[in-house]
Amino acid sequence: MRFARFFLLFLCLNVFHSLSAQNSQDSLYMRMHYTKEEKMIKMRDGISLFTSIYIPTDLSKKHPIIMVRTPYSCRPYGVDKYAELYNTYHKYYLRAGYIIVFQDVRGRFMSEGVFEDIRPFITNKKSSKDIDEASDTYDTVDWLANNVKNNNGNVGIMGISYPGFYATMAALSGHPALKAVSPQAPVTDWFRGDDFHHNGAFALMDAFNFYRSFGVPRPIPLKQYAAVKSKFSEDSYDFMLKAGALSDIKKNYFGDSLQFMNDMYAHPDLDKFWADRNPLPHLNDIKPAVMVVGGLFDAEDCYGAWNTFKTLESQSSSSDNMLVMGPWYHGNWGGRGDGASIGNVKFGQKTAEWYQNEMEIPFFKKYLEDSPNKMVGGKVNVFITGENNWHKFETWPPSGSRPYKLYLTSENGLSQNAASDKATGSDSYISDPAHPVPYRSEIGWNRTREYMLDDQRFTSQRTDVLTYQSDILEEDLTAIGPVIADLFVKLSTTDADFVVKIIDVFPDDFKEYASDKVPMGGYQMLVRGEIMRGRYRNSFSDPEGFKPGKDDRVKFNLPDIAHNFRKGHRIMVQIQSSWFPLFDRNPQQFVNIYTCKQSDFVKSKVEVLRDKLHPSSIEFLIK
């Protein structure tokens, strides 16, 4: 036993020594083969943007350029301080001799100018004063192509999350040297589905935590983030509940110092402010090749990845568009873990490494190098969970997919058969804003990434959550593509939210994902969940209240799924009216949620109808 412990310690020390030695070698390689320059690149309106440029010392050939534009800082600053690219898969770009560029976007960190969140695209620029992120990209690419020594004239741009938004904007720049763009989990629509709103519901936790640091004003260029208050409590549920209505939260924790927080409160509906900041309508006749990347379990920007690709295919079909969607949390594919599991759910392979080696690097090599290689992937590359395999398709949703509808039935059932002519029925619960449904079972402050496929058994036990379940599946069922929730409801109040979850219920004897912490037999894996603010059921721009006691319909889309419900499993659907503190509480009255008081919050009886005239259902495609 003592020998075994000694041997294990010896092995660990050797592995640690080997990794340290490798990192040291890679660091040395970068410093021996690269020089770093820092430039202030002037834009057309006279504002200069801080840019870090890593240039190969090899003068025997010309090199492609790959760039990231970011609001999160391109530090470390100083020509003698190198980014630790050698600690990530980006070391392969180093070894391939790419010129690597990072840039602080306008108004952030060391760049001049005024920052604007998701700055609107200007379609018809009439003068040098008409600037946007596309024009800043154009001017930067133009400078790089004409001033960086030994570049081959081919530029690629990539970025994850907010930098993904700047990658989308880059595709709109139109510079002839820009040959390949990869928006990854791109911020796209902050009202319908990304980051701070889902179908009009305010993403309370993310907005609170993000803007108390990111939103701090920057009057002059700086190299560090401004000081931020530490977390306020270990229990986010209890803290956010006691913090009160959104008006109280803003008054007590933000005041008027954070511009975009002010903007979000001032624009509760989908108006021109939000429409102007959505890049999708502008994705027409895109010139560079585009590879959109996203995660099936991305809590921040799942919407952006799916819809950016779909829009490109619809509005710019002649462009060379690709999609990669893996079983990932936010940025998981880009060096944050190996993509083999999330929480208790395992995927049977290192999916992030596969993506890096077989998709991203070959994509840029294909379009930026003089001797392009053939890519392994297809036009659409999606990992189907449950089955745990990659699939290639030519379209999304895949051709040949067919609709599959499950109706809510009596005794908490799901059936492909609609209710008979004589059948009547409904189910109801009391939604109480004072006791909202938590989004997770554990106590904690930060919003978890694992909630996207967490065990839902804790909510099945609540009286304010409706649960419907299919019979045991007699064969595998692969759900693929969009999901539609179609609910017929009756409220006792004038507003409510509707959260719909699609869940994979594992058999009682399930052993494959053996866990020391959670028994996997009977595990209720969240496959997809989404919220809909009821007032927007007919229009995001023109909200309307419900008429108490009157039948109404709430029909909305959930983000796409790619999941195999295996033989022996069951499909479950849960319906509830809060998901806290992931999303803010609805006062359940038709009032302005951003300015109302705590006294405006009331209980609501929510009734879900399921009869011949009111066939509440969930619909998706099957392959």
Question: Tell me: the pLDDT tens digits for 233-251?
Answer: 889 999 999 999 999 999 9
Location of structure tokens 């931020």? 228
Last residue of a domain, one of 370, 393, 416: 393
User: From CA 311, how far away is CA 300, in angstroms rounded?
Assistant: 19
- 1 has pLDDT over 70: no
For residues 368 and 338, is the Cβ–Cβ distance under 8 A? Answer: no
Question: Are residues 109 and 91 part of one domain?
Answer: yes
Last residue of a domain, one of 374, 393, 412: 393
Residue 605: per-residue pLDDT: 98
Residue 130: per-residue pLDDT: 98
Question: Are residues 417 and 389 part of one domain?
Answer: no
Residue 19: per-residue pLDDT: 44
Which residue has better confidence, 177 or 88?
Answer: 177
- 103 has pLDDT over 90: yes
Q: Is residue 494 part of a domain?
A: yes
User: From CA 161, how far away is CA 419, in angstroms rounded?
Assistant: 44
Question: Tell me: the pLDDT tens digits for 6-62?
Answer: 444 444 445 444 445 556 666 888 999 999 999 999 999 999 999 999 999 998 999
Q: How far is CA 596 from the centre of its chain?
A: 29
User: From CA 107, how far away is CA 103, in angstroms rounded?
Assistant: 11
For residues 314 and 372, is the Cβ–Cβ distance under 8 A? Answer: no
Q: Domain total for the chain?
A: 2
Q: Three-state DSSP class for 63?
A: strand
DSSP per-residue string spanning 448-508: PSGGGG-B-HHHHT-TTSEEEEPPPPSS-EEEEEEEEEEEEEEESSS--EEEEEEEEE--T
Location of structure tokens 């790419």? 98
Q: What is the mean pLDDT of the chain?
A: 93
Question: Are residues 97 and 53 part of one domain?
Answer: yes
User: From CA 73, how far away is CA 13, in angstroms rounded?
Assistant: 35
Q: What mean pLDDT do residues 404-427 have?
A: 90
Question: Tell me: the pLDDT tens digits for 495-521?
Answer: 999 999 999 999 999 988 766 677 899
Question: Are residues 477 and 443 part of one domain?
Answer: yes
Question: Tell me: the pLDDT tens digits for 358-372?
Answer: 999 999 999 999 776
User: From CA 562, how far away is CA 403, in angstroms rounded?
Assistant: 14
User: From CA 459, how far away is CA 465, in angstroms rounded?
Assistant: 7
Q: Provide the token pair at 252.
A: 């007590």
Question: Are residues 534 and 386 part of one domain?
Answer: no
Q: Is residue 584 part of a domain?
A: yes
For residues 541 and 460, is the Cβ–Cβ distance under 8 A? Answer: no
Strand partners, 151: 63
Alpha helices in 331-481 (DSSP H): 351-355, 361-368, 457-460
Left (φ > 0), alpha (ψ -120 to 50) or beta: where does 434 sit?
alpha
User: From CA 194, how far away is CA 189, in angstroms rounded?
Assistant: 6
Q: Provide the token pair at 60.
A: 């025997």
Question: Tell me: the pLDDT tens digits for 221-233?
Answer: 888 876 666 667 8
Question: Are residues 59 and 40 part of one domain?
Answer: yes
Question: Are residues 381 and 423 part of one domain?
Answer: no
User: From CA 88, how far away is CA 600, in angstroms rounded?
Assistant: 51
Q: Provide the token pair at 521.
A: 């037999």
Burial class (CB in 10 A: 0-12, 13-18, 19+), 122: middle
Q: What mean pLDDT do residues 115-124 have?
A: 97
Q: Is residue 488 part of a domain?
A: yes
Nearest to 453 by CA among 513, 534, 403, 508: 513
Question: Are residues 332 and 414 part of one domain?
Answer: no
- 537 has pLDDT over 60: yes
Question: Are residues 138 and 28 part of one domain?
Answer: yes
Last residue of a domain, one of 347, 370, 393: 393
Nearest to 410 by CA among 577, 608, 570: 608
List C-alpha distances in Å: 65 to 159, 362, 369, 397: 14, 15, 10, 34
CATH of the domain at 537: 2.60.120.260
Helix (H) or strand (E) holding 238: helix 236-243
Residue 500: per-residue pLDDT: 98
CATH of the domain at 133: 3.40.50.1820
User: From CA 408, how far away is CA 411, in angstroms rounded?
Assistant: 9
